[in-house]
Structure 1
Amino acid sequence: MAFKDSSPQNVNKTEAQTKGGERSTQQARLLPPAGAAGNCTVSVVQPPSLEVDYTQKAVTMHCSFSTAGCPAEQPTSLWFRYGALQPENLCLDGCRNETDKFTLVNLAQNQVSLTVNRLTFNDSAIYICGIAFPSSKEPRAKQTGGGTVLVVRETKVLSKELQSLLAALLSLLSMYVTGVFVFFIVLTKSKSNTLRKKETEDSQKKKSARRIFQEIAQELYNKRHMETSQQPQEKDNTYENRRALSNYERP
């Protein structure tokens, strides 16, 4: 006959095993089964704008997206267009035929593209890319991008080579204008310095001529003053001589 070991150590060990099994069961209930997705989140990115020439036959817009926690399946891509008239759903049937107005292509993993064929001015609009996982009920499993503004211009867009040439010509023109401006400034300063130097020389010449004139005038004045001061003395001598002569002639 077998007896159960009812020692305290065996009882505690049995209780710990029981609690561990219950905890494992609860975790298994909380965790999703293998392969299931939870909290599916989609993020969509589009180029903000695209400008093309009206002479182009077609234009392609790209759309990339990323997923997290989503089902392991290929998502559905949707395109919408907001033009001048009203919103329009595009490619509801897939748009796989190149003869259609629009062509939808899955380029690579997490990348899709929309091609607008037979381009016209009326194709200028906002094109929005949408990515959705139909099997997921998460709100973020269906997201759209910010939209790509397509502008169809009437004038032809310049090629990169022509744009580079125009940029080089503008650079040369800017350098030429800068050189002319610098030369004009240097020439103006040179003329200003020459005029200032000439004015200084003229002023010095005028001062020198004025000084010479003053010296000549002073010399003439001194000479005139000397002549004037000598005349009374000669008159006095003549008078005295006449007086002496008259006294001599008297008996």
Structure 2
Amino acid sequence: MMVNGWIGLTLKHSISCCVCFLGVRSCTVSVDQAEFLEVLLDQVTANISCQYTHSVCAGEKKIYWFQYLASKHGEIKQSDRVTVKSEDGNTILKINNTRVQDSGIYICGIAFLGSSGPTLVFTGRGTTLTIREKPDVMVTPTNTVLIVLCTLLILYCIAVFSYYFIKTKCRIWKAIRNKPGFTMGAAKTFGTRSVFQAIAAEYHKKYDRKTPKKNPVVEDETIYQNTQDLH
């Protein structure tokens, strides 16, 4: 009777181990997290998402969040500033009033608490959260639109200026050609003469005051001047 009792107990223990082993092997869980997340202080809130799927997992499901910061690490406890919102297949860690010190690694964990079997815990690879005071790249969609508009405006101004410049030049050239006695040689002479006249006018404008003026001859009527030749 004693031997039969020990055999029965051993068999029961073996069956229990096999059941637990098969339960562990049959439970499959997949946890997916974004590798990096950058948030500006102006955005105020950081949302770290975690997606998961599970199949044939017994026991109560529980979701954990862990943080590894520069100054501390451990499980995240919910508060007024840090909350966790979970739905079927998705959980979001929300950090309000973000600070630069919140930068760190955040890991999502899924646990199945078995009543009789071992506890199964699965974690993601973690999301590296970076809180920046100012963006490294100043090019935003709004800035891009403004740059494009400014470029188009500059091109439009250049086109309008070129159009009126060519139109005015053609009008002047047409007026010169319509003058009687116009020849190509005269046009070249006129153009050269205009250039020299402009240079001379600029020269006199700059150096007229510096050039000493000759004293004019003053004729005094009281002085007798003999203009006749003496014989």
Instruction: State the TM-score, normalized to the length of structure 2.
Output: 0.48
The answer to which structure has the higher helix fraction is 1
Q: Larger C-alpha radius of gyration, 1 or 2?
A: 1
